[in-house]
Structure 1
């Protein structure tokens, strides 16, 4: 991973951490201020809006960042790309907003979602336009490689939403207050983002016509395939909520959405990598650097597995503690769906970087087919399991659908032309997760005070997990510092010093015996698990709060 690529990932990850933190603070407040039923209505509206915006926005945002990143021999290439997609953004957003207003005015929305939700669709119509240019501005800046600008805009969007929505919902405005937060925040981000784009390329390019050799047809073809891909992806995110709304009351939808919100915290690093890889790997594909792409994909798969697995184990260990503290006692029904969603969320996390690299190649036939297979499994299982089992059925169906994404996209990657499993070490990574799960779950069971558990289990669990990863060979000692050395200074410089010291000091004679390390890890895992479940007696007493 070169420094420029790592810098982009670092910018996106940093922004996602901040957004994750703000989301983590605001979501339980929204849940409490709205209540489970209104929160369920809010979740349904956002799901409908997300799927609707696929046809308005996804081809534009993916297209502008991909084609801006390509090195073309066309004069004023950047100006023509920016102008082409700006004109398309205006046309589609205006048509999309008008269609939504017409559908609401003539009762189509009431027939589909109920009369109590129809008034909110007028706000969603305005949000179509503001969200279109918010996303267009951000993705254009990413296409220029300016993640240092695009990612703070994402933070501004989230903070702006929270500053407006939380007081309004607290004051009793309800779902309308939450939607107003999205609308005003997206307007602000669109204005700031387009100003930053104008500094790179004058927006007067909107009025200039590109030359005959400008690849309009290829760009529109990419748009249509991108729309199909994003639609299938969004169906994985939202079809369970929409189907659950049909068969269960709004409170069940609200609690299920709470479980999804926590499970999706696993994705912030994979999503950051996916966001950067689409346009960053386009250059590697254009230069036919297939070996480098396979190396990048397989190492990313391994790192993603390790990072996401330790988070999933930690969430499983603390679910009984974290959910009621986070959302309140009313959200206790969300615990079981959360546990059922975690395995699938891990599989989806692994699929994200692979999908992004496939998108960078530009031929989306195989990624669309792979995502379509997972989406079909997800849809069928939700239709079968939700009516009899409700939230738990939706969680099982969605988890299987999520997990199948990894298998399908490994198949897709082979057809696209790279191998995401070349250095993935999946057996060792899986062994690490299995062996570490025992001690981490044991630790959470032994500590009976919930606040102490929240303070102790995550850092100690991470230490246990990393130790096991090193012992079984899922992670080499120098690798974390090699990755960090590509990041901006001072992190990069300090990590590079440690990496060079570790590489220079490596000795094959001093390397640990793999079987001895495995036996040690297994013994420690069994010991701590025995302490937790009463098979062995600990030498200390714990006091309940």
Structure 2
């Protein structure tokens, strides 16, 4: 992994960690201030808005960052790309706000979502404009490779929302207060972001006329396919919520949304990789560096499995503890849906970077086909299961739909021209996960204090997982240091020095799978027994 790509990932991951922390603090407050029912209405509105914005902005945001990252011989290439997509953003935002207002005025919104929710769509119409230019500005900066600017804007967006929405919902403005928080935050980010873009390329380029060599048709085709792809992806996120609100009360929708938000914690690093890989791999594809792309994609698949696998095990072990503490006792019904969602969320986490590399190629028919099959499976299963099983049926259907994404996008990747499984070592990573699950569940069962469990289990589980991953060969000894060496100093230089010193330790006899399994199982049981002995001999031990 080169340093420029790593620095981009570092910027995105750092921002996502900050956003994750802010979200982790603000979400239970928002849930409590709104209540389960109003929080369910809020979740439905955000789902509708997210699907609506696919047609307003998704082609623009994917296109501007892909084509800005490419090195074309066309004169004033970047200026024309910025102007082309800014013109599209303006026109589509105008059409978007007019359509939403008209749909509300003529009663279509009331028929679809109820009279009591119709007033919210006037507020969402304003959000169409602010969100459009917020996303255009951020993705344009990413296309320039300026993640050091685009990612702090994401933090500004989240903090701005919290600063406005939390006080408004606390004093009784309810869902309106939460939506106003989104409007104020996105408007602020749009102003700052457009100013940063203007400092790089004048926004007056919106009036420039590209030459005949400018690939308008190719770009519009990519935009259209991006809209289809994003629509199918967003259906995976939101179909379950929209269907659930038709068959169950708003409180069930709110609790199911709470379970989804916890499960989505698995995605913060894969989302960062997906965000960076679209424009970063576009350059590699343009130079036909297929072998490097395969190496990058397969190692990323392995690292993603290792990271999200241990997180999924930890969330499953701590679900009974974390949900009531995080959202309150009212959210206890969210525990079972969370457990059902975790396997699929892990599969979707693995699929995200693979999809991003395929998008970087620009040939979207295979990713669209793969996502379409997964979306179809998701819709059919939700239709079959939600009427009878409510949010448990939604969780099962969505988990299967999520999980199928990884299998289908591995097929898609091979059609595009790279292999995300070349060095994925999925069997070894799975073995490391199983071996670690035993002591993690045992450790959780021995600690009666919920706060102590949340404090102790995650770091201990991570250390155990790292050890098992190295033992079974899912991770090579120097690979963690190799990753860190690509990051800015002093972390990069220190890791590089240590990596060189440890490189010779990896040579040795090949690993024997049966011996590794026996040793790993023995160490896993020993760790479980140690946890019970140290933290609570009398506590019951529940093994998975």
Flag structure 1 segments of 5+ consecutive residues without an equivalent: none
Per-residue Cα deviation, 1:169-212 (whole angstroms, up to 9, x for no partner): 00010000000000000000000000000010011111111111
Cα distance in 2 between the residues matched to 1:540 and 1:430: 30
Deviation at 1:537, TM superposition (A): 12
| Alignment-derived partner of residue 501 in structure 1 | 501
Cα distance in 2 between the residues matched to 1:495 and 1:504: 15
Deviation at 1:6, TM superposition (A): 0.4
Counterparts of 1:335-374 in structure 2 under 5 Å?
A: 335-374=335-374
Per-residue Cα deviation, 1:120-142 (whole angstroms, up to 9, x for no partner): 00000000000000000000000
Name the SS of the counterpart of 1:419 in structure 2. Answer: coil
Name the SS of the counterpart of 1:138 in structure 2. Answer: helix
| Alignment-derived partner of residue 301 in structure 1 | 301
Contact 1:9 1:272 in 2 (8 A): yes
Deviation at 1:491, TM superposition (A): 1.2
Cα distance in 1 between the residues matched to 2:430 and 2:176: 45
TM-score by structure 2 length?
A: 0.97
Name the SS of the counterpart of 2:537 in structure 1. Answer: coil
Cα distance in 1 between the residues matched to 2:507 and 2:87: 60
Change (3 A) 1:531 1:8: closer
Deviation at 1:504, TM superposition (A): 3.7
| Alignment-derived partner of residue 277 in structure 2 | 277
Per-residue Cα deviation, 1:417-458 (whole angstroms, up to 9, x for no partner): 000000000000111111111111111001111111111000
| Alignment-derived partner of residue 219 in structure 1 | 219
Contact 1:358 1:413 in 2 (8 A): yes
Contact 1:471 1:514 in 2 (8 A): no
Cα distance in 2 between the residues matched to 1:507 and 1:321: 43
Change (3 A) 1:451 1:201: same
| Alignment-derived partner of residue 128 in structure 2 | 128
Change (3 A) 1:528 1:216: same
Counterparts of 1:187-202 in structure 2 under 5 Å?
A: 187-202=187-202
TM-score by structure 1 length?
A: 0.97
Moved more, 513-522 or 121-130: 513-522
Flag structure 2 segments of 5+ consecutive residues without an equivalent: none
Name the SS of the counterpart of 1:43 in structure 2. Answer: helix
| Alignment-derived partner of residue 29 in structure 2 | 29
Change (3 A) 1:333 1:216: same
Name the SS of the counterpart of 1:234 in structure 2. Answer: helix
Runs of 4+ in structure 1 over 3 Å off: 504-507, 511-517, 526-532, 536-543
Q: Tell me whether 1:237 sits opposite 2:234 in the alignment.
A: no
Cα distance in 2 between the residues matched to 1:68 and 1:451: 47
| Alignment-derived partner of residue 252 in structure 2 | 252
| Alignment-derived partner of residue 444 in structure 1 | 444
Cα distance in 2 between the residues matched to 1:542 and 1:483: 40
Name the SS of the counterpart of 2:210 in structure 1. Answer: coil
Cα distance in 2 between the residues matched to 1:537 and 1:71: 59
Q: Tell me whether 1:45 sits opposite 2:45 in the alignment.
A: yes
Per-residue Cα deviation, 1:105-124 (whole angstroms, up to 9, x for no partner): 11000000001100000000
| Alignment-derived partner of residue 520 in structure 1 | 519
Counterparts of 1:138-537 in structure 2 under 5 Å?
A: 138-508=138-508, 515-527=514-526
Name the SS of the counterpart of 1:131 in structure 2. Answer: helix
Cα distance in 1 between the residues matched to 2:302 and 2:377: 26
Cα distance in 1 between the residues matched to 2:180 and 2:459: 38
Per-residue Cα deviation, 1:307-334 (whole angstroms, up to 9, x for no partner): 0001000000100000000000000000
Contact 1:471 1:518 in 2 (8 A): no
Deviation at 1:488, TM superposition (A): 1.2
| Alignment-derived partner of residue 76 in structure 2 | 76
Cα distance in 2 between the residues matched to 1:3 and 1:528: 38
Cα distance in 1 between the residues matched to 2:318 and 2:504: 40
Cα distance in 2 between the residues matched to 1:90 and 1:9: 30
Per-residue Cα deviation, 1:241-266 (whole angstroms, up to 9, x for no partner): 00000000000000000000000000
Cα distance in 2 between the residues matched to 1:345 and 1:485: 30
Cα distance in 2 between the residues matched to 1:379 and 1:434: 31
Change (3 A) 1:459 1:539: closer
Cα distance in 2 between the residues matched to 1:508 and 1:530: 31
Name the SS of the counterpart of 2:30 in structure 1. Answer: helix
Per-residue Cα deviation, 1:340-368 (whole angstroms, up to 9, x for no partner): 00000000000000000000000100000
Cα distance in 1 between the residues matched to 2:42 and 2:511: 54
| Alignment-derived partner of residue 537 in structure 2 | 540
Name the SS of the counterpart of 1:172 in structure 2. Answer: coil
Cα distance in 2 between the residues matched to 1:429 and 1:512: 15
Change (3 A) 1:212 1:324: same
Cα distance in 2 between the residues matched to 1:430 and 1:269: 19
Root mean square deviation, CA, Å: 1.6
Cα distance in 2 between the residues matched to 1:538 and 1:178: 43
Change (3 A) 1:537 1:93: closer
Change (3 A) 1:531 1:484: closer
Name the SS of the counterpart of 2:166 in structure 1. Answer: helix
Cα distance in 2 between the residues matched to 1:539 and 1:201: 63
Deviation at 1:529, TM superposition (A): 5.3
Name the SS of the counterpart of 1:342 in structure 2. Answer: helix
Contact 2:477 2:506 in 1 (8 A): no
